[in-house]
Chains A and B, each alone.
Chain A
Amino acid sequence: MLVVSGSSSSSQSAQRERERERERMGREVSESCVDSLLTEMVSSYCNRFYADKPDLAARRIEAIGYQVGHQLSERYTMERPRFSDHLEAIKFICKDFWSEVFKKQIDNLKTNHRGTFVLQDNRFRWLSRMSTDPSLETGQEGDSKATEAMSMHLYFPCGIIRGALSNLGIPCAVSADISSLPACSFVVRIKA
């Protein structure tokens, strides 16, 4: 995160110069802040607002992601020609969009050419620092609980992808698959 310390003695022109500098550099956000925010958001929705309704919590988190994706896609497509087909839009998500959000591209893109795309990130940043509670790590039950908790954190990025594509005129459904951690796959199904 870029912190601009505002000293009272600085003149207005210097401040304007700094603002221009910031515009040129683009805005940066601390990764740990985003991680904390995501964790806190998920835990608030799952444990406080909708403690006994995980479906509802998931829907709410996905909706927040949707709005974020919707706004980001507007910003990131500003200087680009319009997309002519779905594949071009998906490629944009894989390359430019992902680079802007995660500073890396999607590692693997698969499609069946009938409206389903699988976007695989071999080291998804928002999961890379997650570890399971050691007291839960024993046995099947612990495993399933850890997976459940982790998948809760994936509704937000799923919502981001869905929001971005919807804003580009592609209605779709997005789900995440974490069967081969730390890789994470997002499955995009375009609605005809």
Chain B
Amino acid sequence: MLLSRVREERSLQAAGTRQRATPNGCATISRVKNRGPAGLDSASASAVEEEATKPEKMIVCIAVVGHQNNPLYIQSFTEADDALKLHHIVHCSLDVVDERVNNPKKSGPLLNETFLGLLYPTENYKVYGYLTNTKVKFILVTTDLDVKDADVRNFFRRFHAAYVDAVSNPFHVPGKKITSRTFAERVSTIVKAFGLSSAG
């Protein structure tokens, strides 16, 4: 049964473009799920859910990590309850950042640039990094698998500006988590703008 569903999906994706396939794909899956037996094992169910969110191009998680690898701000933007998974991805990326910074030869011409580029791709996500002069790391996790570097650069530039404004608040204690509501609002605006620019 699973096989037939996958085949159905494939044909759908082949028929339309990626964006157009999204609503169709979701509809199909939910229909199939309703029709399916109650004893559907959980592994395949979660796989189906992943399939459903995959084609959507968006930032799913953004994190600010201090110079001692202390989390300053971490926010996920998904409906699903996968915060733990995203936090894990962010956590893993910190090692990649350290590696990039300590072996600058590998990164070649991009020596000491704040934008670190793609840290690592996973099956469903791409993880980008940015390291400021003050050794604060920004980590971006996106489901958009063919995102342009320029878009990500632009995103980080705007995000950095928002971060600087947040830490310039006299009530912010350096090294503590950023709790400003204004910052959170500004970040979600930037994240939404990123989704629009890369989808269009």
Contacts and interface: CB of A to CB of B under 8 A. Distances in A.
B133 A168 contact: yes
Interface stretch (B3-11, B36-44, B106-114): B106-114
Contacts of B167: 71, 74
A101 B172 CA distance: 22
Contacts of A81: 111-114
Contact of B161 (A70, A73, A78, A83): A78
Given A70-B174, A78-B161, A169 B112 contact: no
B168 interface: yes
A77 B161 CA distance: 11
A48 interface: no
Contacts, number: 43
Contacts of A82: 112-114, 131-133
Interface string B142-180: 000000000000000000110010011010001000000
B133 A83 contact: yes
Given A73-B134, A75-B164, A82-B131, 13 more contacts: A70-B174, A71-B167, A74-B134, A74-B167, A74-B168, A80-B114, A81-B113, A82-B112, A82-B114, A83-B112, A83-B133, A168-B133, A169-B67
Interface of B: 67, 111-114, 131-135, 160-161, 164, 167-168, 170, 174
B164 to A, nearest CB: 5
Contacts of B111: 81
Given A70-B174, A71-B167, A78-B160, A84 B134 contact: no
